[in-house]
Structure 1
Amino acid sequence: MRAWTDPIGHALFRLRLRPNHLTVAGLGVSLLAAAAFVAGRTRTAGLLLILAGLFDFFDGSLARASGQVTPFGAFLDSVIDRYSDLVVLLAIVVLFARMPHTRGAIIAMAGLVGSVMVSYTKARAESIGIECNVGVMERPERMICLIAGALLGLLEPALWILAVLANLTAIQRIAFTRRAIRDSARLSIGAALLSGVLVAAPAAAADTLLANSAPSIPPATEGAWAAAVTGFQAGDPGPLIRAFGSEAALSSPIADYARYLLADALARAGDLEAARAVALGLAERHPNSRLAAPALLTAATLASHAGADDEAQAILKRLISSYPDAAEVPEALYLLGMIGEAGDQRDAAVGVYQELRVRAPTTGWEDGATERLAALAAAGVRVPELLIDQRLQRAERLLSGGVSKMAAEEAERIAKETRDSGIAVRALRIVADASQKMGRYEAAARALELAAARAPADRRSGLLLEQARLWRRAGQRERALTVLAGVEARGAEGEVAEALCLKGRTLEELDRQTQAVSAYKTVAARSPARAVACEALWRLGWLEYLRGDARAAEQTWLRLIELPGGRAWRQPALYWAGRAKEQTAGLEAAETLYRRVLGEAPRSYYGLLAARRVTTPAEAAPDPAIRLPADPQEAIGDDPGFARADLLRRIGLVEFALQELEDVVARAVGDPVRLYGLSGVYVREERYHLALRVLRRNFVAVAESGHSALPRAFWEMLYPLGWRQKLTEASQRAGLDPYFVAAVVRQESSYDPRAVSPAGARGLMQLMPGTAQIVAESCGLTFRDELLDDPAANLQLGTCFLADRMREWADPRLALAAYNAGPNRMRQWWQTRRTNDLEAFVERIPIDETRHYVKRVMFYWEEYRRIYGGS
């Protein structure tokens, strides 16, 4: 499909068209089709709908060809699609009404309603955090139905199909959303088991049952437990009640899990009193278990159902006080308020609902609390306004919960209302942080300006320094320099050093190199013991190197590695000092510096570059500080915490096992051999991202040594190849090296198919939905949101997009920069480059994230080829 759509996209690009032009043109053609329907020229209308579909199809090809893939483009495309659907179906209603053909008009109206509701139900479900993609009558199917009916003269039968299936799809989505909301209410504990979601209670010491050696579970007993779990998941609680109600289960290493599931099974079997007693027993016997808070919530719910509201209230208050950070607290507060209302304790209920609004403003329970407060106010109950400190806490929690717009609005109101400078500064800090998260850097800078004006003198320079950074990010560099001058004049030593370094970077961007050099030299001279001096010397060396003074650059970079804070800069500084030395004294003289890089970190990005420049092989690395067994399982064979998690896995409670394993990992910090073994467990369960999280935190130095004594299992865990067949097939279809794609996936998502970035990119290759939709259209795929979470589909879309970048740039380093930062940015950087040396170009990429991204993926690519490809 792309073989003929891509050339068309490039041809349209050469005509200086933009994707949005085609999108709007498609609406125009849809209006013509509507006019044709009104005039009774149905076959003409069908042909025009085909043309409108082609416009909708090729706007994606044009976007890919021109690199104009934007979130607004995807938004506009979706809105225009809705307009097109409505005008066409409305025209068909008019057609039948004019005949007159009452039945046809009614069916067309039903189709119009169904089409609107299919889109509306999905949008509303997503607004409350539920992905709702069920049903068969999406827009492509509706258009095919209309086109076929118009061209074949069977418009009324086609409308019957469209109306029935579209409304069935809408009803199906309503039912799906209702089930999702109901199941999330946790009135049945089994939802946690079946959905695989259990949020941890507060971190605590290991349960006491781990302190003792766990008794061995006979295979027959273990088999019976596994069968009981399987039956329970299928809806039969009986076997589980018998299995987990036994003394063997209730005294086993997983006694808390046995009680948790037993309580749920008893509740499902109708024995609510026994279920409540078991749930309370869990909290009594295992207070440090991650299941204690959920068990208390269950007990309170069951007590309330039984009419024992006083007991339910006592249990809920115990949960809230004992486990204040538990995920169950918002629901507990809501239930406590509802019980208070039912018991005519309406003032107390108001207080609880207000507390819920402050403590959990980003949850669905807060929405419920707000509705109940409105109902109580309408009933004449006094509902006091939140205190300003409560509002401030609420705004902070909105910000941390990702609801930046609401956080900024609330904090801005607080800042305007209060006369307390401390509260005002705190509120304006929230406004600045929220605005920054939304990409509104100018608004963030103005908020910090107001905060600095009301802040104590000792905090003012720090706020102004942050304000300058934001002005720079907003492209207001001259304003940033003005603010930095004030920090230089009045700030403390550390703030002045930071300001001078930032001033140098800003002057560089304004192409005022001489002034930038002066700023960097001042930092290095005044504050050599501060980390910022290292950054200043690094950037100073680059200014010298790019103006052709390699000798000065070499001296600057060698000076950098001698500074107290220069350790993090050693590898890049040594390598580029070597490159500078090579220019002035030749390769043989530079090899000493390259070998220092290889001696410290042979398996690193700079070790890779240095190895390519030395003429003889590097010496073998010294023995690693730790010895890892060839089989990771050997490292944890006698660990009681792992034995508990592994037992959960073996009887079918895999998600519980993985959550339990998190506690085992936390207790193993400082013991690298155990951590290595636990990483192997994650890999075995295809939770590669969890293994990588452990390995990245604890094994960087070990991996950089590259010692031959490190077992192959270590390298395969550090560089996993999850979904290998799907990855290879997608790579080959796109004409890419599978190991190159594997490196991209490792950096993008750590092989977590459910990964979601703060910006909304999703899946293994971290695609934005708008970008993915356009790529899907160009590949001939019908895009649905859930494709992004499917490994095979995400890999197919991601490799298509990456292959486009490779076709444009040829060199993988440039293609990676375009993939990460966007094609337009990359074109701008390339046009304004000061060197054709691609290694140097990578070092000068302005965005830190993209610069690190390119280096990491290039190194990972080499490691994948070394480990799996024999390179």
Structure 2
Amino acid sequence: MKRLIIFFVFILIFSQITYAYESSGKEYLKKGRNFLEQKKYSEAIEFLTKAANEFTLLEDYALLWLSDALHESGEHEKSLATIRLLLKKYPDSSLGKKARIREIKEAEEISDNDVQKLFESYLKDYQNDSDIKYLYARWLKKNDNPGSAKKIFKDLYISGNSYSDIAFSELQPCDLTSEDLFKRSKNLMNNYDYKSAERTLRMALAKSEGILRRQILTELGHSLFKQKRYSEAAEIYNQTQDKYWELRSRYRAREKETVLSSVDEMLNAGDRRIVSVLVAVASDKRREGDFAGAIELFRKIIDKYPSEREEAIWGIGWTYFLSGEYKKSSEIFKELFDKYNDSKYLYWYARSIDMSGENASDKYKRLVENKKDFYSLIAGRRMNSSINLIKSSETIKIKKPVISSKDYLSKKLDRIECLLELGFQKEAASEMLYISRKTNSTDDIYYICTKLNEIGYYNHSVRLASKMPEIQKMMEFLYPLAHWEIVERFSDKYNLDPLLILAVVREESRFDSDARSPAGALGLMQLMPSTAFRFDKKLKIGIRNSHDILNVRNNLNIGIYYLSNLIKDFDSFAPAIASYNAGEEIVRKWLKEGRYKSADEFIEDIPYQETRNYVKKVLSSYFEYKRIFSSDDLMSGIPIEKL
């Protein structure tokens, strides 16, 4: 009994010593990192050395930062030895990639014999790391291997990435063939750099002939089309004799007479791609009130392109619906639904019955029960006549996410808790993302998503949650209350439902505060700089550059203010949301020409597919947010026609 008591006393004392040891180790790590950021390298070395010795949970972090401090102090041999200790002791560390980069740089500093092997080994595992590729090319050139260096410089130039221009300075014009330039243009197109792609393609044209020349011209046409220089693109496509792209470009350039005079040619072209242009022409006839002409052209499409029958029949049914011939439209939509089982067809079948004065509740009910998409959601609202469009956050009762206990999680997640406790949020996020790639556990992912949301990394939690099979358990992460205090404040100020704002942010940027579109839109609400500067004159935030626009508070302030103005102007959600995506002027034109009887008619008839899908996605996300987080009666409020 005496021995047992002594044993428990020993265990108690040992655990207290261990706790004190770990606590001091944590403090050493925090101080060491702070000294490193303050460029006080001798102090950083002192404290990070202690942390590496005393705090095993995060020893790999201590060793990495210690290596950084030694590097900055000029102690490259010690830095290399430290980083190699990290790689040896922790081969599966989330810091492995950073450690290998540090190893390469330190080995180069001391002219280690293994430098080339280190470069080659790293690039075998990380083939797309342009930073290290460029460093390797420079090292090869410096070490009398210009041929191998030039090959890498050439690859970097062709890739079209951030090192492309500097790599070009290492090459001669004769080093690049027309094939090389064509490959580069394709990469630039994939990177949405259409202007640079155009320049490269014109260089390639000067060198090319034969079959490749035609391919280069086609790609040049694509680059001009993407820049919305449609007439120029059409002339290029005319040279390649590509009627589909030529007429699509002329349609976009609003060369109406040219396109209309080519209808018979398109009908007899035998090119299935060209059906999209014919459908657009038929739809324009319908919008202009020429219902008979539209139906006639749709029937010709069916006759000439039977494989594209579905789209043309939909066009006929939609024309009948908008012209008020609901019996005919219901027959067509029923036929389409019976054959293709698409909720879109069932919804408009129900609407046709509804507009005929008959009861379509069984069709709406079937939509609601079968599927959760835009049509099932809007059908549910039709069954209840109206939807609540809350104007102030004061009326919203938010159900906060319940954070599960972490007891079930493995010890590996203790590192995350510790990093967060120390204030190392960026490192904690990287650790979580690293673990997420290694686990299949729903509980692990749930915990990681919860923690990512806590520190504001909503874009990552949405991405992780969307990949999980148990989707219902992850709904609060798929639809997070991102930046809630800011959203709530400005939504209240500008008299909007904050859940609508979150729905817009979700579809605009997936909560990535640093999101940048190919067109130049920035931040959470994807503001164009011109829009931000325009509204800043009113709001007086002090926007000076893109950094200011990317700021979360600034971006939400301007975006919410802009959307609130659109909703006031249109007195309806759908046109306002469409305007946010496509511009106010064009939406007013659509509304004037369409003379729509309801919001769903307008949404379905939006000419731009991107905008049409965008509006559907925003409203679907809004309905989901209301379902998850609002305890109010969603069906009370203004009529659905005001959507």
Q: TM-score range by the shorter chain?
A: 0.7 to 0.9
SS at match of 1:407: helix
> What residue number does 1:298 align with?
102
Instruction: Give, as a single letter, the amino acid of the residue that structure 2 aligns with 1:393.
Output: K
SS at match of 2:460: helix
8 Å CA contact retained: 2:134, 2:153: no
C-alpha distance in 1 between matches for 2:21 and 2:334: 67
8 Å CA contact retained: 1:468, 1:481: no
> What residue number does 1:686 align with?
456
> What residue number does 2:585 align with?
824
> What residue number does 1:755 align with?
515
Q: 2:370 aligns with which of 600, 625, 634?
A: 600
Q: 1:676 to 1:307 in 2, by over 3 A?
A: closer
8 Å CA contact retained: 2:603, 2:612: yes
Q: 1:316 to 1:715 in 2, by over 3 A?
A: closer
Corresponding position: 1:414 with 2:204 = yes
Shift of 1:514: 3.5
8 Å CA contact retained: 1:409, 1:431: no
Corresponding position: 1:362 with 2:131 = no
Shift of 1:745: 2.6
Q: 1:446 to 1:279 in 2, by over 3 A?
A: farther
> What residue number does 2:630 align with?
868
C-alpha distance in 1 between matches for 2:434 and 2:264: 50
Corresponding position: 1:614 with 2:383 = yes
Q: 1:655 aligns with which of 423, 426, 429?
A: 426
SS at match of 1:561: helix
TM-score (normalizing by structure 1): 0.60
C-alpha distance in 2 between matches for 1:540 and 1:484: 18
SS at match of 2:175: coil
Q: 1:352 to 1:729 in 2, by over 3 A?
A: closer
Q: 1:390 to 1:653 in 2, by over 3 A?
A: farther
C-alpha distance in 1 between matches for 2:148 and 2:382: 74
Q: 2:213 aligns with which of 424, 430, 448?
A: 424
8 Å CA contact retained: 1:501, 1:523: no
Residues 754-811 of structure 1: CA distance to partner in whole angstroms, max 9, x if unpaired?
A: 2222222222222111111111112234322233222222222222222222232122
C-alpha distance in 2 between matches for 1:368 and 1:685: 37
Shift of 1:612: 3.3
Corresponding position: 1:731 with 2:513 = no
Residues 641-689 of structure 1: CA distance to partner in whole angstroms, max 9, x if unpaired?
A: 75665565555543244334334444557x7666555433332222222
Corresponding position: 1:230 with 2:30 = yes
> What residue number does 2:348 align with?
576
C-alpha distance in 2 between matches for 1:415 and 1:814: 44
Q: Percent identity?
A: 23
Farther-moved stretch of structure 1 (672-681 vs 854-863): 672-681
Matches within 5 A, 1:225-264: 226-234=26-34, 235=36, 236-244=44-52, 249=56, 259-264=63-68
What count of residue pairs does the alignment treat as equivalent?
590
Q: 1:400 to 1:292 in 2, by over 3 A?
A: farther
C-alpha distance in 1 between matches for 2:280 and 2:357: 30
Instruction: Give, as a single letter, the amino acid of the residue that structure 2 aligns with 1:441.
Output: Y
Shift of 1:739: 3.0
> What residue number does 2:251 align with?
472
> What residue number does 1:398 align with?
188
8 Å CA contact retained: 2:333, 2:349: yes
Q: 1:389 to 1:279 in 2, by over 3 A?
A: farther
8 Å CA contact retained: 2:453, 2:482: no
SS at match of 1:764: coil
Instruction: Give, as a single letter, the amino acid of the residue that structure 2 aligns with 1:606.
Output: Y
Instruction: Give, as a single letter, the amino acid of the residue that structure 2 aligns with 1:406.
Output: S
Shift of 1:636: 9.7
> What residue number does 2:10 align with?
none
Matches within 5 A, 1:30-429: 223-224=23-24, 226-234=26-34, 235=36, 236-244=44-52, 249=56, 259-280=63-84, 291-308=95-112, 311-337=114-140, 340-341=141-142, 343=143, 349-359=149-159, 361-363=160-162, 365-371=163-169, 384-421=174-211, 423-429=212-218
Q: 1:739 to 1:258 in 2, by over 3 A?
A: same
Q: 1:346 to 1:295 in 2, by over 3 A?
A: same
TM-score (normalizing by structure 2): 0.80
Shift of 1:278: 4.1
Shift of 1:312: 3.1
8 Å CA contact retained: 2:603, 2:615: yes
Corresponding position: 1:833 with 2:594 = yes
> What residue number does 1:766 align with?
526
Residues 830-864 of structure 1: CA distance to partner in whole angstroms, max 9, x if unpaired?
A: 22114232221221111122222333333433444
C-alpha distance in 2 between matches for 1:727 and 1:289: 37
C-alpha distance in 1 between matches for 2:325 and 2:580: 33
Instruction: Give, as a single letter, the amino acid of the residue that structure 2 aligns with 1:581.
Output: I
> What residue number does 1:848 align with?
609
8 Å CA contact retained: 2:194, 2:223: yes
Shift of 1:578: 0.8
> What residue number does 1:743 align with?
503
Shift of 1:488: 5.0
Instruction: Give, as a single letter, the amino acid of the residue that structure 1 aligns with 2:560.
Output: T
Instruction: Give, as a single letter, the amino acid of the residue that structure 2 aligns with 1:759.
Output: A
Q: 1:798 to 1:863 in 2, by over 3 A?
A: same
Instruction: Give, as a single letter, the amino acid of the residue that structure 1 aligns with 2:225.
Output: Q
SS at match of 1:419: coil
Q: 1:549 to 1:357 in 2, by over 3 A?
A: same
C-alpha distance in 2 between matches for 1:400 and 1:640: 42
C-alpha distance in 1 between matches for 2:190 and 2:564: 37
> What residue number does 1:517 align with?
295
Shift of 1:593: 0.6
8 Å CA contact retained: 1:334, 1:352: yes
C-alpha distance in 1 between matches for 2:357 and 2:180: 67
Q: 2:335 aligns with which of 542, 553, 559?
A: 559
C-alpha distance in 2 between matches for 1:481 and 1:667: 57
8 Å CA contact retained: 1:551, 1:584: yes
Instruction: Give, as a single letter, the amino acid of the residue that structure 1 aligns with 2:350.
Output: G
Instruction: Give, as a single letter, the amino acid of the residue that structure 1 aligns with 2:50.
Output: R
> What residue number does 1:538 align with?
314
Shift of 1:322: 4.1
Give the unaligned 5+ runs of structure 2. 1-17, 37-43, 387-400, 634-643
Q: 1:325 to 1:649 in 2, by over 3 A?
A: farther
C-alpha distance in 2 between matches for 1:329 and 1:447: 39
Instruction: Give, as a single letter, the amino acid of the residue that structure 2 aligns with 1:303.
Output: A
Q: 2:278 aligns with which of 503, 507, 514?
A: 503
Instruction: Give, as a single letter, the amino acid of the residue that structure 1 aligns with 2:530.
Output: G
C-alpha distance in 2 between matches for 1:655 and 1:398: 31
Q: 1:681 to 1:470 in 2, by over 3 A?
A: farther
C-alpha distance in 2 between matches for 1:279 and 1:811: 60
C-alpha distance in 2 between matches for 1:737 and 1:781: 22
Give the unaligned 5+ runs of structure 1. 1-217, 374-381, 454-462, 618-629, 704-709
